[in-house]
């Protein structure tokens, strides 16, 4: 843990250092040609935002701190957040009138001054419904005749809202909204902090018949929106002129796609589908159908944390927003310019209470579409923190400041704990695929490609080469392998290694400082592994969940369909297996359960909802963490408290065409709280640019090996592990690790405090420890650059 006072001092020192750096940098460059950014890169900072200080005569003061003033406009349901550090003002809505309101205001205006005041811009691309949404504090989404509709707290008709101070509190208010059109009532509790607003929507505060129609609640959808088109009033003509673009605020939306993505504000010529980040991944049990098919397309990356943000200008103003309650049901939505024919880029959190699914009523598959009988029951708590400036007075107003602010929140709430890192080499992750099963003439055959003795020999070989800070996971170590062994099974196959040989392997290498662990997926199951009865999760339509893997699995694989374990069973199996090995294994590797969240239903309704599922898995890992370290594959945020090693950390995004930048937001948040390992380098993640990406994102390399050629697994479900033979990657492992370790070992144990793009393809990361500052300069370009009196060769990284 670190104190806020100390952190603030570090930030100020860091900013001073950065200013000196900016003056000294690039005395000259030797570029032969410009570096071309793609959305895999981070581009230079956006332009400065232009703004003027305004009076808010139609707003009333709700609350004021040393940092922020909170104002409210009752007729439009808008809160204005005036940042006293810069004078910049955020509004929860775009603050525009309905056509009728605008017409009445102009008709009632008599003097030229009154006419000018009444002649607000007339929105071009927003109809009456969207103007209500654009001004609203809260909008509800509901289903009617299989059509999705929207109704906002600031709608022209159909709803009324009232803001009242909570009795006995100076900084807490309650917005009561009656959505009369659908007979739905809800209350939003609003708490104002020093530089934060928190919105709480208790489930108990929902009422009326409209709850049966309610599908989602949306908060402040146009906060921070940029763009728009409007007709401007011409006093000389006495009328409105043709529509034109409004001032497009320079900046971006940050979304937690993969490591982190920026969606810059820009004028698009084509319409896009929205970005929908389903936090923790979609729940298979509430999808439209109980069955799904796995495709061979690259899967999108689900957000592992419930956070997003918006930045305006170049380190001028930003906010970061996170959910402390309701995250399991949260979507992060971004509508890029032109989406839904709206000329704004706007982003918001959406919390899902109900969904349409296909109810099957016979074995032929006939059925009908319907909503769930009962809504998801959960509370919402969403906090927005407002950032200002370049970091000299707090967290800087960009994605780095957002990450540091969110990190501080997670540390303050006990989700993350900063751990002291020993000096020396960085770690490397070396997983071993030991076996899998395939069909045979009678039954199945277990194909062994790595034995316990092979693991011993390979680790000894790598240690002789000077790679000593190693941890490993063993996959397919058990009898029947990962594919057919029961999740809690603790049985061995002598052709791989006896129980005794594994114990000796673990204990011998523990003495050498090498941590070896068993790996297990506790979520994905199949009918040849165990009976689905009492073990498998059910869809809301009460059918067992089914996934068709035929596109990915080879024809001779022993299984084609898989399902999902009950969350309670997953938790039970984790406890069973970890308790059996904790006596001699220093850690355990969990896959599947770390990143997959599933609810389950029966004919009476929901049995285990997503919040309960997350609690069950977290509880089992909490118990296991008392006896051993936990290595988790791409774990969701609710498991970070018990994560020692974060495996398969993303180093990019899903590559949506509207995403303009990739950033290491996740890595900045987690820096120093756990070890982070990248994707397996032997699967096309070993080029010089990839090595630089590991250095830039401060993650350690990882490999997966087999002793025998990987083609032997061609008829198993591990056929996607197509390039794993150790002899082919022995030299590459040493090379990749050596280059990454050479740089990152010098900042091991340092706090990552800043990241700057000096120019396209040149990054400077700043690290601080006990008053000492180090910078890592990464040059992705194909020409040398001269920075801080240091020549950084092409495609390389150096430490200052």
Q: Is residue 784 part of a domain?
A: yes
Residue corresponding to tokens 């004919």: 603
Residue 46 has a pLDDT of: 96
Q: Is residue 358 part of a domain?
A: no
Secondary structure of 564-627 in HEC code, one letter for each residue: EECHHHHHHHHHHHHHHHCCCCCEEEEECCCCCCCCEEECCEEEECHHHHHHHHHHHHHHHHCC
Residue 73 has a pLDDT of: 96
Q: Is residue 786 part of a domain?
A: yes
pLDDT digits (tens, 9 = 90+) for 64-109: 999 999 999 999 999 999 999 999 999 999 999 999 999 898 889 8
Cβ neighbours of 654 (radius 10 Å): 17
User: pTM here?
Assistant: 0.94
Name the average pLDDT for the chain. 93
Give the pair of three-digit tokens for residue 490. Answer: 């603790």
Cβ 401 vs Cβ 673: under 8 Å:
no
Distances (CA, A) of 46 to 184, 223, 275: 42, 19, 21
Strands (E), 361-494: 367-371, 380-388, 428-433, 435-439, 444-448, 470-475
Determine the average pLDDT of the residues in 760-779: 96
Q: Is residue 767 part of a domain?
A: yes
- Helices 452-464 and 726-744, axial angle in degrees (round to 10): 40
Phi, psi of 83 (to 5 degrees): -80, 110
What distance in Å separates the CA atoms of residue 732 and residue 681, rounded to the nearest whole number?
Answer: 9
Q: Is residue 762 part of a domain?
A: yes
Determine the average pLDDT of the residues in 655-673: 97
Determine the average pLDDT of the residues in 419-447: 95
Q: Is residue 789 part of a domain?
A: yes
Q: Is residue 141 pLDDT above 50, yes or no?
A: yes
Q: Is residue 12 pLDDT above 90, yes or no?
A: no
pLDDT digits (tens, 9 = 90+) for 156-191: 999 999 999 999 999 999 999 999 999 999 999 999
Determine the average pLDDT of the residues in 323-336: 98
The domain that contains 773 carries what CATH number?
A: 2.60.40
Residue 33 has a pLDDT of: 60
Give the distance, in angstroms, between the CA of residue 173 and the centroid of all CA atoms in the same chain: 30
Phi, psi of 283 (to 5 degrees): -85, 115
What distance in Å separates the CA atoms of residue 734 and residue 506, rounded to the nearest whole number?
Answer: 23
pLDDT digits (tens, 9 = 90+) for 507-537: 999 999 999 999 999 999 999 999 999 999 9
What distance in Å separates the CA atoms of residue 644 and residue 694, rounded to the nearest whole number?
Answer: 19
Residue 239 has a pLDDT of: 86
Phi, psi of 105 (to 5 degrees): -60, -40
pLDDT digits (tens, 9 = 90+) for 529-575: 999 999 999 999 999 999 999 999 999 999 999 999 999 999 999 99
pLDDT digits (tens, 9 = 90+) for 686-722: 999 999 999 999 999 999 999 999 999 999 999 999 9
Query: Quick one: CA dihedral 702, 705, 709, 715, positive or negative?
Result: negative
Label residue 268 by pLDDT band (50, 70, 90): very high
Q: Is residue 424 part of a domain?
A: no
Residue 335 has a pLDDT of: 96
Q: Is residue 18 pLDDT above 50, yes or no?
A: no
φ/ψ bin of 87: left (φ > 0), alpha (ψ from -120 to 50), beta (otherwise)? left
pLDDT digits (tens, 9 = 90+) for 34-75: 899 999 999 999 999 999 878 888 999 999 999 999 999 999
Give the pair of three-digit tokens for residue 4. Answer: 């806020």
What distance in Å separates the CA atoms of residue 548 and residue 169, rounded to the nearest whole number?
Answer: 55
Domain count, the chain: 1
Q: Is residue 769 part of a domain?
A: yes
Cβ neighbours of 51 (radius 10 Å): 16
Give the pair of three-digit tokens for residue 744. Answer: 């990152």
Determine the average pLDDT of the residues in 621-642: 98
User: What strands lie across the sheet with 239-245, from one edge to the other?
Assistant: 122-123, 229-234, 239-245
Give the pair of three-digit tokens for residue 111. Answer: 């003097």
Residue corresponding to tokens 């495709």: 295
Residue 435 has a pLDDT of: 98
pLDDT digits (tens, 9 = 90+) for 468-519: 999 999 999 999 999 999 999 999 999 999 999 999 999 999 999 999 999 9
Q: Is residue 31 pLDDT above 70, yes or no?
A: no
Question: In 3D, which of 130, 59, 29 has the Cα closest to residue 335?
Answer: 130
Q: Is residue 138 pLDDT above 80, yes or no?
A: yes
Supply the range of the domain harboring residue 788: 750-800
Residue 237 has a pLDDT of: 84
Determine the average pLDDT of the residues in 135-146: 94
Measured at the alpha carbon of residue 427, what is the angle toward residues 421 and 428, in degrees to the nearest 5?
Answer: 160
Q: Is residue 776 pLDDT above 60, yes or no?
A: yes
Label residue 20 by pLDDT band (50, 70, 90): very low
Determine the average pLDDT of the residues in 400-416: 98
Q: What is the DSSP string of 398-413?
A: SHHHHHHHHHHHHHHT
């Amino acid at each position: 843990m670190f104190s806020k006072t100390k952190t603030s001092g570090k930030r100020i020192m860091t900013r001073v250092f950065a200013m000196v750096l900016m003056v000294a940098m690039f005395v000259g460059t030797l570029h032969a040609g410009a570096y071309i950014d793609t959305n895999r890169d981070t581009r230079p900072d956006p332009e400065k935002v232009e703004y003027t200080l305004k009076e808010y005569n139609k707003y009333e003061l709700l609350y004021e701190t040393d940092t922020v003033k909170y104002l409210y406009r009752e007729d439009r349901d808008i809160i204005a957040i005036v940042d006293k550090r810069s004078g910049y003002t955020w509004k929860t809505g775009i603050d525009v009138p309905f056509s009728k309101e605008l017409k009445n205001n102009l008709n009632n205006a008599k003097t030229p001054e009154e006419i000018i005041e009444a002649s607000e811009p007339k929105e071009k691309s927003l109809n009456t419904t969207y103007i209500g949404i654009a001004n609203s504090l809260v909008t509800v989404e509901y289903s009617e005749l299989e059509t999705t509709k929207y109704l906002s707290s600031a709608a022209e008709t159909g709803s009324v809202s009232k803001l009242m101070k909570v009795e006995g509190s100076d900084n807490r208010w309650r917005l009561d909204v009656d959505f009369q059109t659908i007979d739905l009532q809800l209350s939003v509790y609003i708490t104002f902090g020093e530089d934060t607003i928190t919105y709480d929507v208790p489930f108990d505060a929902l009422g009326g018949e409209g709850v049966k129609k309610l599908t989602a609640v949306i908060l402040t959808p146009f906060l921070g929106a940029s763009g728009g088109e409007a007709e401007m009033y011409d006093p000389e003509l006495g009328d409105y002129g043709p529509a034109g673009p409004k001032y497009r605020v320079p900046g971006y939306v940050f979304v937690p796609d993969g490591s982190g993505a920026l969606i810059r504000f820009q004028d698009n010529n084509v319409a896009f589908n929205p970005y929908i980040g389903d936090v923790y991944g979609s729940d298979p049990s509430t999808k439209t159908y109980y069955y799904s098919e796995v495709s061979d397309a690259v899967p999108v990356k689900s957000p592992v944390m419930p956070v997003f943000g918006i930045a305006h200008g170049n380190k001028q103003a930003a906010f970061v927003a996170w959910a402390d309650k309701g995250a399991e049901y949260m979507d992060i939505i971004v509508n890029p310019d032109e989406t839904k024919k709206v000329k704004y880029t706007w982003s918001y959190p959406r919390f899902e209470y109900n969904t349409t699914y296909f109810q099957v009523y016979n074995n032929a598959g006939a059925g009908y579409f319907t909503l769930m009988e009962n809504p998801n029951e959960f509370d919402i708590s969403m906090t927005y923190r407002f950032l200002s400036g370049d970091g000299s007075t707090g967290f800087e107003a960009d994605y780095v400041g957002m990450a540091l602010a969110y990190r501080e929140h997670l540390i303050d709430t006990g989700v993350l704990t900063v751990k002291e890192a020993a000096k020396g080499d960085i770690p490397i992750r070396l997983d071993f695929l030991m076996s899998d099963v395939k069909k045979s003439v009678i039954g199945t055959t277990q194909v062994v490609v790595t034995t316990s003795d092979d693991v011993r020999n390979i680790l000894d070989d790598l240690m002789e080469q000077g790679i000593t800070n190693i941890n490993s996971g063993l996959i397919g170590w058990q009898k029947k392998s990962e594919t057919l062994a029961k999740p809690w099974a603790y049985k061995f196959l002598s052709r791989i290694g006896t129980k005794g040989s594994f114990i000796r392997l673990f204990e011998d290498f523990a003495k050498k400082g090498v941590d070896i662990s068993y790996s297990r997926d506790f979520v994905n199951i199949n009918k040849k592994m165990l009976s689905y009865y009492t073990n498998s999760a059910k869809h809301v339509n009460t059918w067992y969940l089914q996934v068709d893997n035929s596109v990915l699995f080879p024809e001779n694989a022993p299984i084609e369909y898989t399902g999902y374990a009950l969350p309670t069973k997953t938790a039970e199996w984790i406890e069973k297996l970890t308790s059996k090995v904790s006596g001699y294994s220093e850690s355990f590797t969990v896959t599947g359960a770390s990143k997959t969240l599933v609810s389950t239903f029966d004919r009476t309704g929901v049995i285990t909802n997503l919040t309960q599922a997350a609690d069950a898995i977290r509880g089992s890992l909490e118990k296991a963490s008392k006896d051993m370290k936990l290595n988790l594959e791409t774990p969701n945020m609710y498991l970070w408290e018990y994560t020692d090693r974060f495996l398969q950390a993303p180093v990019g995004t899903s590559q949506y065409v509207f995403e303009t930048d990739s950033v290491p937001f996740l890595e900045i948040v987690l820096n120093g709280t756990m070890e982070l390992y990248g994707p397996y380098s032997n699967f096309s993640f070993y080029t010089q640019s990839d090595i630089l990406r590991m250095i830039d994102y401060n993650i350690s390399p990882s490999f997966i090996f087999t002793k025998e050629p990987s083609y032997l697994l061609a008829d198993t479900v591990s056929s996607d592990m197509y390039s794993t033979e150790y002899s082919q990657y022995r030299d590459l492992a040493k090379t990749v690790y050596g280059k990454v370790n050479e740089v990152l070992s010098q900042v091991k144990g340092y706090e990552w405090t800043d990241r700057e793009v000096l120019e396209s393809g040149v990054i400077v990361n700043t690290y601080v420890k006990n008053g000492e500052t180090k910078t890592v300069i990464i040059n992705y370009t194909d020409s040398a650059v001269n920075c801080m009196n240091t020549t950084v060769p092409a495609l390389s990284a150096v430490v200052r």
